[in-house]
Amino acid sequence: MKIRKIIDKRVHEIEFLKIAHLEKKLINNISNLDILIFDKNILKNILIKKLLKKFPKRCFVIKGHEKIKNLKNYSILIEKIIKLGVQRKTIIYSFGGGTLGDLSGFLASTILRGVEHVMIPTSLLAMVDSSIGGKTGINSKFGKNLIGTFYLPKKVFICSDFLKSLPKREIACGYAEIIKYSLINSKQLHRLLIKQSKGDINEIIKLSINSKLKYISDFREKLKTKNSRAILNFGHTIGHAIENSNFYKGNLKHGEAISLGMILELKISSLLNYYSKRVDSLIEVLKKYNLPINHTKYVNNRTIPTLINKITFDKKVINEDVNIVLIGKNGGFIKKISIRDLKSILYQIK
């Protein structure tokens, strides 16, 4: 099964396949000019073992983590790759989560002014989010993802077999983004998520990707349009503030902070009369997928001033207003709220 979408006159192609089929494709197509980058945590995978054996001199192994997305690491890696030898027709194959994918995409987009990148996302978050849409990047010491490019991979291969080795907590983080899609625009996804049994993961991934792609038709974010990429930030304005405030020494992962952010942003939607259903049904879904729901530990009278400070420094703040994504009858939309109002709302709903 394939998903195709034209973005900035280029085809974004995402193909779903089983591991045996992926193996055939890769073994037949990878050449000795290509570069392979693997996440250390997937080395036990039989396909990865075979690739390492077949292309021992062209492989790099990196332990995926937010800290690998920095300039120092980028420069070490790019020099190593250039030293090995690359040509215009070299293809970079990356196998890993979002951190390794973002770094590899940035490398591919800058080596020789751009060589092709084939992405094989191996975390759930990377399958439904970071491998989709062509954003690459690394972090600056002044903030996350501040250095990067828009660069569509030549292909994205989704092989859910990789998820068998993914830790439970990482699976939950992927579900946070999936639940976000279900609220902003996909009733079909919502129905699948609330079913008694956990649905077919490939169907869930496919619906999530289609949901994200609705907001991506070109690279620049257009705040004014109905399908603005910014709508994908539902749960992220407050979620990021919680994540970056680090109240409990960084023990919250991104998806977990977004889980709490979504609860609060849905409560705001409800308080402002845009959302008329029960917020509790979101809480039940989050619980079902092992995500945290107790926001009072992070959002309370003591922490609200710090959170508001973080939101003010967030790049989404223009003058005194913040663009926050709320949920209404027809899904996600952007609402401008003044920082002062947001603060008083937070005190009401905490």
Asked if 211 is part of the footprint of ligand NAD (rule: CB under 6 A), the reply reads no
User: Which CB atom, from 97 or from 292, has the smaller least distance to ligand NAD?
Assistant: 97
User: Which CB atom, from 86 or from 127, has the smaller least distance to ligand NAD?
Assistant: 127
Question: Shortest Cβ distance from residue 305 to ligand NAD (Å)?
Answer: 27
Question: Shortest Cβ distance from residue 132 to ligand NAD (Å)?
Answer: 7
Asked if 153 is part of the footprint of ligand NAD (rule: CB under 6 A), the reply reads no
List the one residue out of 33, 41, 92 whose CA is nearest residue 65: 41
Binding mask 15-44 vs ligand NAD (x if CB under 6 A, - otherwise)?
Answer: ------------------------x-xx--
Q: Which of residues 79-108 bind ligand NAD (CB under 6 A)?
A: 96-100, 102
Backbone dihedral region for residue 60 (phi beyond 0: left; psi -120 to 50: alpha; all else: beta) = beta
Asked if 265 is part of the footprint of ligand NAD (rule: CB under 6 A), the reply reads no
Question: Shortest Cβ distance from residue 191 to ligand NAD (Å)?
Answer: 25
Terminal CA-CA length for the chain = 44
Question: Shortest Cβ distance from residue 174 to ligand NAD (Å)?
Answer: 7
List the one residue out of 89, 33, 32, 98 whose CA is nearest residue 68: 98
Asked if 125 is part of the footprint of ligand NAD (rule: CB under 6 A), the reply reads yes
Span of 61-69, 221-229, 304-312, 332-340 interacting with ligand NAD by CB under 6 A:
61-69
Asked if residue 184 lies in contact with residue 231, where contact means CB atoms within 8 angstroms, the answer is yes
Q: Which residues contact 341 (CB under 8 A, 6 or more apart)?
A: none
**123, 160, 208, 237: which one binds ligand NAD (CB under 6 A):** 123
How far, in Å, CA of 147 to CA of 73, rounded?
Answer: 13
Question: Shortest Cβ distance from residue 66 to ligand NAD (Å)?
Answer: 5
List the one residue out of 10, 60, 8, 4 whose CA is nearest residue 34: 60
Asked if 170 is part of the footprint of ligand NAD (rule: CB under 6 A), the reply reads yes
> Which tokens go with 175?
């579900």
Q: Which residues bind ligand NAD (CB under 6 A)?
A: 39, 41-42, 64-66, 69, 96-100, 102, 122-123, 125-126, 129-130, 133, 135, 145, 162, 165-166, 170, 173
